[in-house]
């Protein structure tokens, strides 16, 4: 990953984490605020329920008191007090009295607790009223919660007991109202809250005992069975509890219920009902979603903005670095005179300045080096010329001295000596010419005439040319092995120069194998280049020889000019190729010429 992208990623991550952190913090604070709000609202609703409970209880007590004080009940009390009370005519008295006071329940019982008339269970006349240990004490109490059982149903109600006054054996009016959907409807609930009532009847949870604010017992479309764990928990613990119910996969449908046990009269205060106050989580979840969406939006926008700003900042920061990198690349490519701008005085500018000074130093060093190498080359050339010329000059000197001596000392043999010396002189002069010719040839290396060339053909021609020499009698045989890649690409090359270069390499190989061996001519395709390898199984090169082998006029041979491989390198270089050598002492040497494939070949897709 490049420096600019890294910088960009760091900037973006920083913004993302910052926005995410802020959003999370806001969410946590929102949730806490909502929880506190829910607590307050639920507490308010519970207080409202209790106020409504008390208000309704007082209202019921008042109505029951009115019934107890009514003429009809007084007449009943008088009849009860008679010697042979005939109460059959009163059995349906409770109905009209209850209906006139809008009560759901009304039992009129005598002092012994025997039912004279019952509104909700008319058939119960003559039966003892159940659920009251002391009617006279109950008549002095405020309204209370009780369970009313009939032959086919059981109901939860708010009851009050009142007695007729002025009679030794009073008649008690036990009246009440059903705690049902109507009662729940009287609760003034916020829009996203609701109250349900579970009538604790039987040993197990039953949906029929769950009362909602709507008409009928069905609380709503939600399955009532979901309340079972909450109801069971409250029944077991007999304490207030909170429970969340998920109605669907959508969290917005969740409701948080607070269950409040409702107890009846008596020493044991039995659990008669459970008030369930539910608060919808929709507003909270929607707010949470809104915050999350906002956080995502702001975060996304922030990230985009951060990317843009980071791009700008990173570009501003990294541009000098990139310039430095490019300049370094140029220097690596040999353009040592590359310079970079020094815009300011910061660390990067100092770095750029140092770079410029470094390249200047390098350039200076290189020029000095080139100059030194040139001097060295001239010295080497002089040494080689001296060496090369000294060899033929010494026989020339000897021959001339021999002629002079023969003229002076043996004139009779002068002609014979002259003839022989003349041949020797001519031969050595020819040798001198040859030496001068090779130097001249190296200095006059022609420019290559490029054409699309199939290297394999050139290699095969070279092999054919040297075939006879390799197998010449009187010298140890050298086996020539051709390993040519038929997929070798065309190269743009001068056939003659390339033939000459490869021939030089073959000659070198032959010189390296005085005792015979194997000459390998190989071609192969590598990374779109054509590679020609010329290998021998000779004595190999030392490390110093490998390093200096392409230096002009350097030779490791007794009679070499040191120009062969220099010419090969010159030819390869003129073809925009590269030559290298691999050698191991005692194992042989392999020269590798790498040439770019022909433009035509590239167009053909090879």
CB of 116 vs another protein, minimal distance in Å? 10
Cα 399 to Cα 417: distance, rounded to the nearest angstrom: 9
The long-range contacts involving 182-188, CB below 8 angstroms and separated by at least 24 positions, are 183/52, 183/56, 183/158, 184/211, 184/212, 184/213, 185/213, 186/52, 186/56, 187/45, 187/48, 187/49, 187/52, 187/213, 188/48
CB of 85 vs another protein, minimal distance in Å? 12
CB of 89 vs another protein, minimal distance in Å? 7
Asked if residue 121 binds another protein (CB under 8 A), the reply is: yes
Q: Which is nearer to another protein, 126 or 229 (CB)?
A: 126
Asked if residue 120 binds another protein (CB under 8 A), the reply is: no
Q: Which is nearer to another protein, 121 or 508 (CB)?
A: 121
Asked if residue 124 binds another protein (CB under 8 A), the reply is: yes
Contacts of 529 (CB under 8 A, 6+ apart): 489, 594, 595, 596, 597
Q: Angle at CA 399, nearest 5°, toward 393 and 402?
A: 140
Q: Which is nearer to another protein, 94 or 530 (CB)?
A: 94
CB of 182 vs another protein, minimal distance in Å? 23
Q: Which is nearer to another protein, 93 or 161 (CB)?
A: 93
Q: Which of 25, 43, 123, 422 binds another protein (CB under 8 A)?
A: 123
Cα 109 to Cα 89: distance, rounded to the nearest angstrom: 14
Q: Which is nearer to another protein, 66 or 92 (CB)?
A: 92
Q: Which is nearer to another protein, 122 or 560 (CB)?
A: 122
Tokens 């490029």, residue located: 450
Between strands 144-149 and 451-453, the pairing is unpaired
Cα 84 to Cα 355: distance, rounded to the nearest angstrom: 130
CB of 96 vs another protein, minimal distance in Å? 13
Asked if residue 128 binds another protein (CB under 8 A), the reply is: no
- Residue 152: C-alpha distances to residues 130, 148, 155 (Å): 16, 11, 10
Contacts of 44 (CB under 8 A, 6+ apart): none
Asked if residue 431 binds another protein (CB under 8 A), the reply is: no
- x/- track of binding to another protein for residues 50-89 (CB under 8 A): -------------------------------------xxx
Q: Which is nearer to another protein, 22 or 123 (CB)?
A: 123
Q: Which is nearer to another protein, 118 or 359 (CB)?
A: 118
149-180 b/e with 16+ CB inside 10 Å = b? Answer: eeeeeebbbbbbbbbbeebeebbbbbbbbbbb
CB of 91 vs another protein, minimal distance in Å? 5
Cα 387 to Cα 310: distance, rounded to the nearest angstrom: 69
Q: Which is nearer to another protein, 88 or 422 (CB)?
A: 88
CB of 126 vs another protein, minimal distance in Å? 6
Cα 175 to Cα 163: distance, rounded to the nearest angstrom: 11
CB of 95 vs another protein, minimal distance in Å? 11
Between strands 210-211 and 144-149, the pairing is unpaired
Phi, psi of 71 (to 5 degrees): -65, -40
Phi, psi of 221 (to 5 degrees): -70, -15
CB of 115 vs another protein, minimal distance in Å? 11
Q: Site residues for another protein, window 87-106 (CB under 8 A)?
A: 87-89, 91
Which stretch in 117-125, 363-371, 386-394, 439-447 sits in contact with another protein by CB under 8 A?
Answer: 117-125
Q: Site residues for another protein, window 142-161 (CB under 8 A)?
A: 150-152
Which spans of this chain sit near another protein (rule: CB under 8 A)? Answer: 87-89, 91, 121-127, 150-152
């Amino acid at each position: 990953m490049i420096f600019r992208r890294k910088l960009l990623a760091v900037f973006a991550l920083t913004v993302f984490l910052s926005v995410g952190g802020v959003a999370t913090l806001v969410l946590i604070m929102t949730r806490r605020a909502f929880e506190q709000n829910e607590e307050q609202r639920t507490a308010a609703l519970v207080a409202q329920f209790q106020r409504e409970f008390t208000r309704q209880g007082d209202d019921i007590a008042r109505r029951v008191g009115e019934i107890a004080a009514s003429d009809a009940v007084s007449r009943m009390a008088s009849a009860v007090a008679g010697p042979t009370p005939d109460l059959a005519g009163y059995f349906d008295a409770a109905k009209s009295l209850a209906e006139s006071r809008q009560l759901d329940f009304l039992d009129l019982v005598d002092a012994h607790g025997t039912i004279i008339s019952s509104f909700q269970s008319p058939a119960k006349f003559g039966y003892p009223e159940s659920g009251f240990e002391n009617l006279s004490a109950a008549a002095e109490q405020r309204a209370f919660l009780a369970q009313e059982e009939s032959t086919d149903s059981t109901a939860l109600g708010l009851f009050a007991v009142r007695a007729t006054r002025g009679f030794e054996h009073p008649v008690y009016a036990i009246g009440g109202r059903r705690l049902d959907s109507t009662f729940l409807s009287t609760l003034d609930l916020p829009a996203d809250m609701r109250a349900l009532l579970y009538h604790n009847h039987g040993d197990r949870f039953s949906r029929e005992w769950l009362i909602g604010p709507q008409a009928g017992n069905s609380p709503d479309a939600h399955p009532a069975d979901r309340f079972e764990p909450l109801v069971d928990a409250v029944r077991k613990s007999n304490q207030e509890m909170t429970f969340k119910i998920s109605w669907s996969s959508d969290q917005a449908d969740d409701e948080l219920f607070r269950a409040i046990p409702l107890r009846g009269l008596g020493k044991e205060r039995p659990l008669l009902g459970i008030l369930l106050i539910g608060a919808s989580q929709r507003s909270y979840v929607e707010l949470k979603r809104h915050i999350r969406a906002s956080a995502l939006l702001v975060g996304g926008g922030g990230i985009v903005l951060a990317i843009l700003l980071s791009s700008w900042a990173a570009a501003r920061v990294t541009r000098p670095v990139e310039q430095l990198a490019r300049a370094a690349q140029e220097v690596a490519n040999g353009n040592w005179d590359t310079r970079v701008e020094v815009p300011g005085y910061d660390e990067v500018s100092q770095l750029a300045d140092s770079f410029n000074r470094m390249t200047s130093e390098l350039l200076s060093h290189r020029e000095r080096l080139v100059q030194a190498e040139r001097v060295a080359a001239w010295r080497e050339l002089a040494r080689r010329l001296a060496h090369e010329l000294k060899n033929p000059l010494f026989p020339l000197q000897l021959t001339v001295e021999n002629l002079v001596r023969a003229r002076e000392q043996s004139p009779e043999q002068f002609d014979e000596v002259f003839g022989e010396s003349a041949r020797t002189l001519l031969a050595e002069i020819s040798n001198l010419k040859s030496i001068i010719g090779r130097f001249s040839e190296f200095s006059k290396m022609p420019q290559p005439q490029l054409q699309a060339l199939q290297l394999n053909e050139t290699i095969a021609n070279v092999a054919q040319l040297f075939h006879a020499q390799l197998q010449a009698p009187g010298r140890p045989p050298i086996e020539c092995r051709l390993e040519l890649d038929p997929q070798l690409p065309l190269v743009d090359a001068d056939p003659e120069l390339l033939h000459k270069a490869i021939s030089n390499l073959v000659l070198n190989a032959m010189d390296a194998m005085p005792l015979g061996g194997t000459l390998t001519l190989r071609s192969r395709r590598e990374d779109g280049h054509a590679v020609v390898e010329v290998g021998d199984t000779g004595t190999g090169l030392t490390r110093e020889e490998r390093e200096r082998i392409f230096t002009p006029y350097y030779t490791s041979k007794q009679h070499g000019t040191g120009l062969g491989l220099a010419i090969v390198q010159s030819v390869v270089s003129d073809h925009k190729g590269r030559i290298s050598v691999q050698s191991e002492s005692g194992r042989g040497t392999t020269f590798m010429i790498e040439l770019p494939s022909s433009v035509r070949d590239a167009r053909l897709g090879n």
